[in-house]
Amino acid sequence: MSVASPVRPPSPGETARDPFFDNAKFLAIALVVSGHLIEDLRDVAVAHAAYFYVYVFHMPLFIVLSGYLSRNFTFSSGKARKLISTLAVPYVIFELAYSLPRLIMYGRLDVSLLDPYYLTWFLMSLFLWRLSTPVWQQLRWPLVVAVGLSLLSGTSALPDELSMNRTLGLLPFYVLGLMLRPEHFARLRRRAVRVAGAVTLAAGAVLALAVHTEVPTEWIRWRHANQAIGVDDLTGSLIRLAMLAAGALLVAAFLAAVPSRRTWYSGLGAATMYAYLLHGFVVKVAERFHGDWAETPWGVAAIAAAGAGLAAALCTPPVRRVTRWAVEPRMNWAFTRLRRPGQGA
């Protein structure tokens, strides 16, 4: 049986972007936006189950892809500048922007650049993970070390600064992404694997529907230590290990189901950071104004579908043009001129 690899060198005239990864990123951001929109409706059983199910793997999926696409990160001038302009500066901008609603509604301005608020934790964590990339590439068993750090992080009451709980707890997914190679994604293209992936996703949804009321949602948020969730460290470590395994399994299943051909949303998948950073403002407004109609299974389905539409809209060129200054600021003016090889000081 032939294997269609999603990672291949572009032929002359083709774009260098691989539609597989853009497809995966867009479908992932659609889950993120929909998940946040239904978060306030968790009194409805189906919404709580869907929220629990999606949160087991939607950010792990983003983190695995981020790790894979960060494999070539070094401390060279160009990479360091890109790290600053695509993560550090947007982090500061949106940390300030998300504090404004609190100022308007409650007359309180709380800004802490070391303690990420709301969605900005991912920028902080990704910044730290990417900085650590060269370290993981030098270790013989990087994934084992990362899992060990993740489990140990649950045994301590870590501070909120630098999003330490999530940064260390979700670290194995980033390291897993660093370890992946094109041939690993090629294996997901096999028909048997694709079928198994679809079955696994369906089985995961059924299982989530059965257990979502029994498992505290803090386990899928990675925000607190074991003691804060109410378990001892041995039990907590076993649960964390199970959550890591479940997340990795569902990430693999999801990627197996992602189409590798170019689709109508492939181009949108190249701009998922816009949807991620901007959708929070819509979510905060929606939480205050949804009516009783939303607190029904059909209402939850409608809002989830609206979330997918919102994700697509926020990735479109018009939105990107208007908000590029915040999401992808041009920072050339802030940097010294790059020296070319052989150029004197």
3 state DSSP class of 73: coil
Q: Given this model, what pLDDT does residue 304 score?
A: 94
Amino acid identity, position 297: P
Q: Given this model, what pLDDT does residue 334 score?
A: 82
Q: Given this model, what pLDDT does residue 210 score?
A: 92
Q: Given this model, what pLDDT does residue 294 score?
A: 83
Confirm if 303 and 259 have CB atoms less than 8 A apart.
no
Give yes or no for residue 1 having a pLDDT over 60.
no
- Euclidean distance between CA atoms 259 and 52, whole angstroms: 25
Burial degree of 38 (CB within 10 A; 0-12, 13-18, 19+): buried
In tens, the pLDDT along 84-113 reads 999 999 999 999 898 887 677 666 777 778
In the structure encoding, which two tokens stand for residue 176, read together?
Answer: 């897993």
Q: How confident is the model at residue 343 (pLDDT cuts 50, 70, 90)?
A: low
Q: For the chain, what is the mean pLDDT?
A: 88
Q: Given this model, what pLDDT does residue 140 score?
A: 93
For CA atoms 225, 56, 135, 89, the dihedral sign is negative
- Euclidean distance between CA atoms 94 and 126, whole angstroms: 15
Burial degree of 180 (CB within 10 A; 0-12, 13-18, 19+): middle
In the structure encoding, which two tokens stand for residue 33, read together?
Answer: 């936006």
Q: Given this model, what pLDDT does residue 339 score?
A: 64
What's the mean pLDDT in 268-294?
A: 88
Burial degree of 106 (CB within 10 A; 0-12, 13-18, 19+): exposed
What's the mean pLDDT in 41-50?
A: 91
Burial degree of 285 (CB within 10 A; 0-12, 13-18, 19+): exposed
